[in-house]
Chains A and B, each alone.
Chain A
Amino acid sequence: MTWRPTALNVSFLTVVGWALFLAVLTGRVELAVAAVPLVCALVAGRRSGAPSACRIDRELSTTRLLEDECVTVTVTLHAERRLPLVELLEPLPPRVGLERGSPHAFFSLPAGRETRWTFELRGTGRQHLRLEGPHLRIWGPLGLAAAESQHRAPATVAVYPRHAPVRHPPRPLRTQTFVGNYVSPTQGEGIEPGDIRPFAPGDQVRHVNWRATLKLGTLHVTQHHRERNADVVLLLDTLSEVGPEGETVVDLAARGAAALATTYLARKDRVGLIEYGGQPRWVRPGAGRAHLERLLDTLLSASVVFTYVNRDLDLVPPRILPPQALVVALSPLLDRRFVRAATDLAARGFDLVVIAVSPVRAARAAVPRSAVADVAARLWALERRAELDEYRRRGLSIVEWDGVEPLDAALAALGRRWRRRVLAG
């Protein structure tokens, strides 16, 4: 870190030059005298040698947060020698909002003292928020010299997609063997009462249905349905993207996927994720909190990768996409390859629900408002409605979601009975 003269020197020299030039021109000594304080300031503002040393520590309140949540950045500045004026600036990456304070600060510190400076940042989009470290500038007297350096302390905050709770997610048609929240058609240990049958040796006394026994004259027991879990695979379409940065259809789909993953995992289901795009990635179905974090990490980095290589879902191993699983596809349905893959899954008997993330609103937000754009958006919405009807006729269970209304409201349109009829047909 070395001292450098600032542009203010040019201003001082300009005024000194004018004063001396006019003094010579007019022959008046007052003008030369007026230049003396300016020259003295230039001499006083000159700095050489190494500037005062100081120590900077930076702390983040968290390294993981959801969209629209805040992280507090605390910078501690310790002056080993006197610092008349020190400037700190933390450059903010794009898609970060400043909630409180300022990333730019000035301090004046005596030797051996320290000061703290905090500001709050809000992650406004799914991202890896990277802070490189504050820039430091020590100012000389009158701002005529400055020494700059950067305190390199890169830190990353993972901003996960926000997710509202989903109260009524699509119910899976088929259950698995582990204990869960769904009432299975099979009989066994459980809470939900099922059929009544005559007592057989080995039956427990607590299962005896005394009312039926008295009515029929022989011992009868109540059978119960088992509570089972299900496998759910979230299929995220990253083949195409529309919308402004941070609010693209992929961002909206990632939010929906995060909400569904949280909901299903809370119901003891096993949840997997397939990112179907230029570079397919997947997470094997699993359960538990650690698995939720794994899913959120994958959703965090989901993005459109352009490639000429055309891959389909056949390359996905069966353990990633179990045949009994409920597949929830989140897609804008803009790319024919994804529509083909979804139709293929439905034809192969997969329990499939497609959440069609509307690209119309996202695209509308990316272009300036105009009458032509409004008409185009309405026409596109009509065309899209006809297209979705066509897909429904092909046997796909589709709900449309604009990404703004709660996912629960969109899923309410998905009647269980209607889904059964469609699958049976």
Chain B
Amino acid sequence: MMRLAALVLLAVLAALALSVRPSAPPVAWLATVALVVGGVGVIAWSVPLVTAAGSLVLIAYALALVVAGPAAEPLTAIALGSTLVLLLALVHFAGRVRGAVLGPSVVAAQARQWLAVVGWGAVAALVLTQAAALLAGALRSASLPMAVIAAALGAVLTVAGVIALVAREARGGPTS
């Protein structure tokens, strides 16, 4: 059941990437490779393989955006990010519980928790998108290199901040 759910999530990811420009061959190939790698990852319950598949889907999505060049459409992106969160959490959980006894309501409790986190993330993404849209109006006169540099700096600071947050509590290395 969990394997089927993971495969469905993987298919949704590939479909989201292809929904931007389904006819572009490189996008379709990348999505196919991502499906194969992700499928193997789901069958073996391997988080690294599913991570690789998620990265490939992101590359395919980026390529489709570059090739098609549509107008900014944040809902698909939010769905893509949320599905990635669910897929990674599900594969990790399923790999851990393989062969173990599951108490009553464990899966239901986990699903509720994941959906709450994903919902919170989707709302945050929507709020940020709206805030960015408002800010864009204010910064319309700023030159493009300035905006790119600011965005890159923001991205780097975000990643650094997340790493610092996660690593602050742990000094002895990650738990498997």
Cβ-defined contact, B151 with A23, below 8 A: yes
A199 at the interface (CB under 8 A from B): no
When chains A and B are docked, how far (Å) is the Cα of A15 from the Cα of B13?
Answer: 13
Cβ of A172 to closest chain B Cβ, rounded Å: 54
Partner-binding segment picked from B2-10, B23-31, B32-40, B65-73? B65-73
Provide the bound-state CA to CA distance between A10 and B85, in Å: 13
Give B123's nearest chain A residue, CB to CB.
A40
The number of residue pairs between A and B whose CB atoms lie closer than 8 Å in the complex comes to 218
Compute how far the CA of A74 lies from the CA of B152 in the bound complex, rounded to whole angstroms.
56
User: Which residues of chain A are within 8 angstroms of B122 by Cβ–Cβ distance?
Assistant: 37
In the complex the two chains form, is B159's CB within 8 Å of A5's CB?
no
User: Whole-angstrom distance between the alpha carbons of A85 and B114 in the complex?
Assistant: 12
Q: B136 → chain A, closest Cβ, in Å?
A: 9
Using A33-B129, A46-B166 as known contacts, say yes or no to A85 and B110 having CB atoms under 8 A apart.
yes
Interface of B is mostly: helix
- The interface bits of chain B over 136-170 (1 if a CB of A lies within 8 angstroms of the residue's CB, else 0) are 00000000000010011001001100110111011
Contact of B174 among A5, A23, A31, A107 (CB under 8 A): A5
Chain A residues within an 8 Å CB radius of B48: 11
Interface membership of B109, Cβ < 8 A = yes
B169 x A4 contact (CB < 8 A): yes
A87 at the interface (CB under 8 A from B): yes
Closest residue of A by beta carbon distance from B65:
A28
Given A18-B58, A29-B72, A33-B81, CB of A40 within 8 Å of CB of B99: no
| Contact across chains for B118 and A37 when beta carbons are under 8 A apart | yes
Looking at B74, B99, B129, B169, which has the most chain A CB atoms within 10 Å of its CB? Answer: B169
Least distance between A79 CB and chain B CB atoms (Å):
11
**Contact call B175/A33, Cβ cutoff below 8 A:** no
- Shortest CB-to-CB span from B150 to chain A, Å, is 11
The stretch that binds B, out of A56-64, A141-149, A382-390, is: A141-149
Q: Distance in Å from the Cβ of A246 to the closest Cβ of chain B?
A: 24
- Residues 102-148 of B at the A interface (beta carbon under 8 Å): 102-103, 105-106, 109-110, 113-114, 117-118, 120-122, 124-125, 128-129, 132, 148
**Please, which residues of chain B bring their CB within 8 A of the CB of A4?**
169-170, 172-175
CB of A41 within 8 A of CB of B109, answer no
A-B contact list, 5 entries, CB within 8 Å: A29-B72, A33-B74, A84-B110, A87-B100, A144-B166
List the interface of chain B (C-beta within 8 A of A): 47-48, 50-51, 54-55, 58-59, 61-62, 65-66, 72-74, 76-78, 80-82, 84-85, 88-89, 92-93, 96-97, 99-103, 105-106, 109-110, 113-114, 117-118, 120-122, 124-125, 128-129, 132, 148, 151-152, 155, 158-159, 162-163, 165-167, 169-170, 172-176
